[in-house]
Amino acid sequence: MQDTVSLEELEKTAKMGSEETTMGVLGSFALKNAKEIQSWQDHFCELAGVYALCLDEDGAPISHFSGNPSDVEVIRKYVTDVRIHNIYKRVSESELEDQAVEITEVPNLRLAAVAVRHNGIAAAVWIVCGVFPEADYEKEFFHLPPIESFGYQISEMKFYKVLDLLRETLNALIGVETSRSIAVAKSKESRQQELEMTTSFHRAETMTEIVSLLDSDETIENIMATVLSKLCSYLQISNGFTCKIGTRGLMDIIVQWTAPGVKKMFTDTTDQEVCWFLGNEKAVVISSDTQMNAGEREQLDQFGIRALVSMPIIINGAPRFYACLSETKENRIWSIDDIKFINDTIRILQSIITKRIQTNSLASSFASLEAVLDNVGSSIYVRDIGTGVLLFANRSFKKNFSKELAENRLIELFESNIPSRSHSGNYEVHHKQREKWYDVYYTRIKWVDGRPVSLCAIYDITEKKLYQRRIEQQAYTDFLTGLYNRMCCEKDLARYVDEARQNGTTGALMYLDLDDFKHINDSLGHQYGDILLQDISKAVGRIEGISNSCYRMGGDEFVIIVPPESYYRMDKIMEEIKNAFATPWYLKDSDYYCTMSMGVVKFPEHGDNVSELIRKSDVAMYEAKKSGKNRIAEYSDNIDSSSIHRLDLEKNMYDAIGKSCNEFEVYFQPIISGAAIGNGEKDEEKHIAAEALVRWNSTRLGFLNPDEFVPLAEYLGLITPIGNHVLKKACECCRQWNEAGKGDYAVSVNLSVVQIMQNDIVDVIRQCIEDNHINPNNLILELTERLAINDLARTKQTLLDIKDLGVRLALDDFGTGYTAISSIRALPFDIIKIDKDFVKDVATSEYSRAFIKMMAELGQTIGAEICVEGIETAEQLEAIKGMGVKYIQGFYFDKPIRRAAFEEKYVYD
């Protein structure tokens, strides 16, 4: 027998125990408590069709088995506690095995365990049971019959997939949580550091303020009151008082201090009974947890004191006064730092009082002052204001500034910034040679012998400065890529522009936006999108001249500043950026191309303020996008005027799409059968299809051609709703024409690359075909070559899926130069549409004719048909005769016309 506690028992303790103790590392990850885990697991099991329970790092259950209780009861007959424990041990103790699957006595019941690791240790183990359907198991080897009619059943293949999913999800989750908790810990640490630094700085400041009281002409009572108030405020305690014990054994309170809202401890101040903690030659320290006898306790309770420190003030070798600091509002445990601070302060008070009492005994006063100043945390020196002679330097100062002292540079270094006639104050000094920053506190006081002196106290604040810098650095860095961020960009750009303007030099700002980055993100997942952004950042950051001025503005947008001193390399820099994008990025085991569009402005020529320059570079970048992406555009005033139009377009486009795309009208241009042209008689040319071409009848902007808004719609991702609308309308027409007209009509619809990358594109097309009951062969979808650029494998799969619907695919605008002929072979196209550009001069150019002819022949060998578009004249038509072109399209036959006109002419004639 295994010596394990039964799971039921453990389950009970898990419920009783506090959440953290039973959850271990798992407690630190996103599934915060047992309840959340249970609910997540229930959902997961329901969706996946498995039974599961979760164990923590020690093997104690965190959740119950999810699933119908009567099913679970049956399963638990075979999946006993011992079995669970054993399989848990298998995956949690081995570092190699994250997953184990075992058979049970029942032929169709499998038991699996999946370990989720955190720093190599199993943070949680999920026990998963699956019940297979009949097809997935063999009965012969088993004595028992299979279990049947279970709520959840799952195929063997899916069972393994579910285990993978579970492991991957949880590992991803724990990864996210780990980096989150690291970040949290880091920020906690820096907050702690900041706190410590502020405290130590504050301490030195308080101390110097107290030291400067040496010079005070005030009465001893007033000095005591000031010291008490500074000391108590610094320590944040509620009460403080000083007192004197008289000859009759009674005490007089000299000064009382209380924090705001706190009651005074003594209402009568003369002839009070002496408290037990006063009258000693040594300090008495009582924290809230200090043990004491009942009598002592009673007296403290009388005053409501929860913690106290009392110290004698020794004058001429005997305690003359006592200072007492106490806390009545809350518990307090004194730290060593507290006690040291109180001790130092009281010693300063002691020497001030000594000085006041025996102004004639200079030597003794000086000695005790020196002793105090030597122990103060900061470096202090005192100089005669009249003669400039150094009168005193404390130990810390001599140790830290011996060189400066020897070189006689004190005034130059620490006092040159003192405003004339200022009595006291502080400022920062940067010591370049030492790479250090100091805070200098200065004050003018009377020295022990009465002459006016200046006292300077110097604190090293280098740590604090560096810390501030680090914080600043963090605020200026983009977390994902390590580049600087937008905030830093704006700050730097302002500096570079100023510099260029002052020196009469030039710099440049480049706005870079990745083309179709969203598709990589959508198809490979965000983690690969992130990797790509990091790789790109690295590649760009390596380029000489801009390595310190690359910024990520957010998303897939970057800014690169070419500082004036690198401007001579401008052409080279652009070349190198282009090169970086001309090579593929290696992601998830294969190569991906990601191109970019970039806008360039110069400063100060194109603007001298940050927002203007950024806006103009963005305008130029959009120009690059609009003219086909994968290029660089320089800013000019012309394109700027069009950008105002663009904002207008953008807003109206959102509105038009909001109004269910009614403003987008579909025109049709006939596509003619090439077989007909042999006859020469135009009348007999048969139209066999129509290309659907969208127009925008905007109520506010008027009539717009696709060239004027399709690029922007693609850029904004709005081409998807518009394109879906066109597809729907085209399919509707196709149905009507085939029902009412004479022939077999096909419609050809343009699909944007953006649409193809949508996960639901296949469903959208299928739905359109089904809704209209059209023959899928009558739907042709046109795609441009641009689509092959990003992710060939995925695109190919999508196209194959579309083809499976029975739809025909056409490669549009072929020859315009995006890809090689090889990509035609890689993708399953039925039709190749040769771009208008080749037709323009087909009547005169041998090359154009040869190209079309070659394409037609190539088409034949790979089984694709050729369509020639842009035929405008009879000569052009003549020139392509006999080349074996299957389809022809062009103004020679008809322009794109409205649906009604098209139907009248070509459908119901």
* CB 874, min distance to Ca ion, A: 21
Cβ–Cβ under 8 Å, residues 733 and 899: yes
Pull the structure tokens for residue 26: 């798992």
d(CA 882, CA 850): 13
Rank residues 533 and 692 by Cβ distance to ligand C2E and give the closer one.
Answer: 692
SS3 264: coil
Contacts of 86 (CB under 8 A, 6+ apart): 2
Q: Which stretch binds ligand C2E (CB under 6 A): 78-86, 595-603, 633-641, 869-877?
A: 869-877
Q: Give backbone dihedrals phi and psi of 594, rounded to 5 degrees, phi first.
A: -140, 115
What single-letter DSSP state applies at residue 851?
H
* CB 696, min distance to ligand C2E, A: 10
Cβ–Cβ under 8 Å, residues 592 and 532: yes
Q: Which of 322, 532, 870, 886 binds ligand C2E (CB under 6 A)?
A: 870
Angle between helices 792-804 and 761-772 (to 10 degrees): 20
Rank residues 349 and 693 by Cβ distance to ligand C2E and give the closer one.
Answer: 693
Pull the structure tokens for residue 404: 């400066």
Q: Which residues bind Ca ion (CB under 5 A)?
A: 750, 782, 812-813
- The reply to whether omega before 721 is within 30° of 0 (cis) is no
Rank residues 307 and 719 by Cβ distance to ligand C2E and give the closer one.
Answer: 719
Q: Does 61 bind ligand C2E (CB under 6 A)?
A: no
d(CA 301, CA 309): 15
Rank residues 524 and 722 by Cβ distance to ligand C2E and give the closer one.
Answer: 722
Rank residues 45 and 710 by Cβ distance to ligand C2E and give the closer one.
Answer: 710
Select from 613, 512, 510, 506 the least CA-distant residue to 568: 506
Rank residues 571 and 707 by Cβ distance to ligand C2E and give the closer one.
Answer: 707
Q: Spell out a b/e string for 613-632, using b for 16 or more CB atoms within 10 Å of the CB, else e.
A: bbbbbbbbbbbbbbeebbeb
* CB 690, min distance to ligand C2E, A: 12
Block residue for tokens 């259950």: 61
Rank residues 203 and 725 by Cβ distance to ligand C2E and give the closer one.
Answer: 725
**How many of the chain's residues bind ligand C2E (CB under 6 A)?**
24
Q: Which stretch binds ligand C2E (CB under 6 A): 89-97, 157-165, 298-306, 866-874?
A: 866-874
Picked from ligand C2E, Ca ion, none, the partner binding residue 563 (CB below 5 to 8 A depending on kind) is none
Q: Does 890 bind ligand C2E (CB under 6 A)?
A: yes
> What stretches of 207-342 adopt beta strand conformation (E)?
239-245, 250-258, 272-273, 284-286, 307-315, 318-327
Q: Which stretch binds ligand C2E (CB under 6 A): 156-164, 396-404, 644-652, 703-711?
A: 703-711
Picked from Ca ion, ligand C2E, none, the partner binding residue 379 (CB below 5 to 8 A depending on kind) is none
**Region 649-678 residues binding ligand C2E, contact defined as CB under 6 A:** 669
Q: Which stretch binds ligand C2E (CB under 6 A): 52-60, 412-420, 484-492, 863-871?
A: 863-871
Block residue for tokens 């194959």: 800
**Region 742-771 residues binding ligand C2E, contact defined as CB under 6 A:** 750, 752
Picked from Ca ion, ligand C2E, none, the partner binding residue 669 (CB below 5 to 8 A depending on kind) is ligand C2E
* CB 813, min distance to Ca ion, A: 4
Angle between helices 637-658 and 706-715 (to 10 degrees): 80
d(CA 16, CA 19): 9
Q: Does 888 bind ligand C2E (CB under 6 A)?
A: no
Q: Does 694 bind ligand C2E (CB under 6 A)?
A: yes
Cβ–Cβ under 8 Å, residues 831 and 887: yes
Q: Which stretch binds ligand C2E (CB under 6 A): 445-453, 478-486, 588-596, 864-872?
A: 864-872
Q: Look at the chain and count its residues.
A: 909
Q: Does 896 bind ligand C2E (CB under 6 A)?
A: yes
Picked from ligand C2E, Ca ion, none, the partner binding residue 719 (CB below 5 to 8 A depending on kind) is ligand C2E
Q: Does 809 bind ligand C2E (CB under 6 A)?
A: no
Cβ–Cβ under 8 Å, residues 598 and 632: yes
d(CA 457, CA 445): 13
Q: Does 872 bind ligand C2E (CB under 6 A)?
A: yes
Beta-carbon count within 10 A of 81 CB: 17
Picked from ligand C2E, Ca ion, none, the partner binding residue 693 (CB below 5 to 8 A depending on kind) is ligand C2E
DSSP codes joined into one string, 315-374: ETTEEEEEEEEEE-SS-----HHHHHHHHHHHHHHHHHHHHHHTTT-HHHHHHHHHHHHH
Rank residues 205 and 812 by Cβ distance to ligand C2E and give the closer one.
Answer: 812
What single-letter DSSP state applies at residue 905?
I
* CB 680, min distance to ligand C2E, A: 19
DSSP codes joined into one string, 168-228: HHHHHHHHHHHHHHHHHHHHHHHHHHHHHHHHHHHHHHHHHHHHGGGG--S-HHHHHHHHH
* CB 728, min distance to ligand C2E, A: 11
* CB 750, min distance to ligand C2E, A: 4
d(CA 694, CA 304): 86
Rank residues 500 and 834 by Cβ distance to Ca ion and give the closer one.
Answer: 834
Select from 239, 319, 241 the least CA-distant residue to 282: 319
Picked from Ca ion, ligand C2E, none, the partner binding residue 57 (CB below 5 to 8 A depending on kind) is none
Q: Does 891 bind ligand C2E (CB under 6 A)?
A: yes
Q: Does 568 bind ligand C2E (CB under 6 A)?
A: no
Q: Which of 579, 705, 844, 845 binds ligand C2E (CB under 6 A)?
A: 705
Rank residues 344 and 785 by Cβ distance to ligand C2E and give the closer one.
Answer: 785
* CB 584, min distance to Ca ion, A: 27
* Measured CA distances, 609 to 496, 561, 604, 613 (Å): 10, 14, 8, 6
Q: Does 780 bind ligand C2E (CB under 6 A)?
A: no
Q: Does 785 bind ligand C2E (CB under 6 A)?
A: no
SS3 641: helix
d(CA 103, CA 131): 11
* CB 751, min distance to ligand C2E, A: 6
Q: Does 721 bind ligand C2E (CB under 6 A)?
A: no
* CB 668, min distance to ligand C2E, A: 10
Pull the structure tokens for residue 220: 């001893």
**Region 836-855 residues binding ligand C2E, contact defined as CB under 6 A:** 836
Picked from ligand C2E, Ca ion, none, the partner binding residue 710 (CB below 5 to 8 A depending on kind) is ligand C2E
* CB 675, min distance to ligand C2E, A: 20
Q: Does 812 bind ligand C2E (CB under 6 A)?
A: yes
Picked from ligand C2E, Ca ion, none, the partner binding residue 515 (CB below 5 to 8 A depending on kind) is none
Q: Give, in degrees to the nearest 5, the angle at Cα 104 between 98 and 108.
A: 100
d(CA 433, CA 436): 8
Q: Give backbone dihedrals phi and psi of 533, rounded to 5 degrees, phi first.
A: -60, -40
Q: Which stretch binds ligand C2E (CB under 6 A): 345-353, 454-462, 677-685, 704-712?
A: 704-712
Contacts to ligand C2E by CB under 6 A: 669, 693-694, 705-707, 710, 719, 723, 726, 750, 752, 782, 812-813, 836, 869-872, 889-891, 896
